[in-house]
Amino acid sequence: MKKLLTVLLVVVLAFSCLFALTACGSEEKEGHYMYENGWTAGAFYGAKVKVTVSGDKIKKVELVDDETTGWSSVSAGWADKDIWLNGLDEFLASFKGEKIEDVKKIKVECATSGQPNAVSGFEYVTGATQGSGRVILAIQNALGVEMNDLYYGSYKYENPWTAGAYYGAKVYVQVRDGKIQKVEMVDDETTGWTSVSGGWQDKDIWLNGRAAFLKRFEGKTASEIAAINVECATSGQPNAVSGFEYVTGATQGSGRVILAVQDAMQYVK
C-alpha cells in the first residue's frame, strides 16, 4: 500500500512539474500605441494589445478594448470598417508562431501626427493600413520596443488687421513615460505657420533660433510645461514669457509655440 501511494505521489508531482513548466514557459505582455485625434481634442487613435509569448515566439495576440486608445468601438462612419472587422481575426492569428525579433523588425511608417501610412515586412489587412499599423506598433511595444505617445496642440488668435486670418502655432508633441521626447511644429493654414512673413524684420532671429528653442522642451513634464507663464494682450498676442528660455527677439513666436505645447500637454497624466 505504501509503495502504491509513493508511485501515485510521484505521478502527481510529475504532472505538477509539467504543468508548472508549461505555465512558466508562457508569458503575457501588454503594449499600446496611441496618438491624439487632430480634429477632436482629448480623443485618441491607437491600439492596446495583450501578447502571449513562449520562448522566442509569439503564441497569441489579443486586441484589448480601451477608451484611451480609441479601440472600445469602431466608428460607424468609417467606410472600410467591414474590411477591417472581417479581416481582424485572421490578421491577429497571423502573428502566432512568428519570432519575436522578426515582428520587432516590421516597418510601420507614420506621419508626424502618428498616423500609420504604410506597412512593410508583414502581411496586413489590405484597405485598413492605419488600423493594421496601430496594432503592429502596439505589439512591438509589448515586445519591448519603446513607443512615444503623440499629442496635438494648437494656439491661435485672429489677425486684427485681416479678418478671417490668424496668428498662432500647431505642434505635435512626442511623450514617453510622462516626459517630452520631441516637439515638432506643423505648417498649418489655420494658424498662419505655412510661411514666415517676408516683411518681418526679425524673421532670421526666429528661424535661426527655432530648432534650439524646440529642443529645450525635451525632458520636460506636463507640470513643468504648465508652469511656464505667457502673458498675452487682449487680442491673444503673447507679449512676455517667463519660466522658460525663449528666442530673444521673437517673443510672440515663442509664446505661440509654448501655448500650443501647453495645449498638447494638458492630456498627459
Burial zone of 253 (CB within 10 Å; 0-12 exposed, 13-18 middle, 19+ buried): buried
Record the pTM. 0.75
Domain with CATH 3.90.1010 in the chain: 27-147
- Quick: pLDDT tens for 171-185: 999 999 999 999 999
Residue 195 C-alpha cell reads as 510661411
Identify the residue with better confidence: 71 or 194: 71
Identify the residue with better confidence: 69 or 57: 57
Strand, helix or coil for residue 70: coil
Identify the residue with better confidence: 17 or 242: 242
| DSSP structural state of residue 244 | S
134 touches 159 (CB < 8 A): no
β-partners of residue 29 are: 51
The model's confidence at residue 3, banded by pLDDT at 50, 70 and 90, is: low
Q: What is the pLDDT of residue 192?
A: 75
Quote the strand ranges of the chain, DSSP E: 26-36, 44-54, 57-63, 107-110, 116-120, 149-158, 166-176, 179-185, 229-232, 238-242
pLDDT surpasses 90 at 213 = yes
Q: What is the pLDDT of residue 195?
A: 66
**Alpha carbon distance, N-terminus to C-terminus of the chain:** 65
2.60.40, 3.30.70, 3.40.50, 3.90.1010: which CATH number matches 27-147? 3.90.1010
Residue 163 C-alpha cell reads as 479678418
User: What is the percent of the chain with per-residue pLDDT over 90, rounded to a whole number?
Assistant: 62
Query: In terms of DSSP bridges, do strands 26-36 and 44-54 run parallel, antiparallel, or are they unpaired?
Result: antiparallel
Indicate the range of 61-75, 203-217, 227-241 predicted with least confidence.
61-75
What is the pLDDT of the chain when averaged over all its residues? 87
pLDDT surpasses 80 at 61 = yes
Strand, helix or coil for residue 207: helix
H or E, element range at 101: helix 100-104
β-partners of residue 28 are: 52
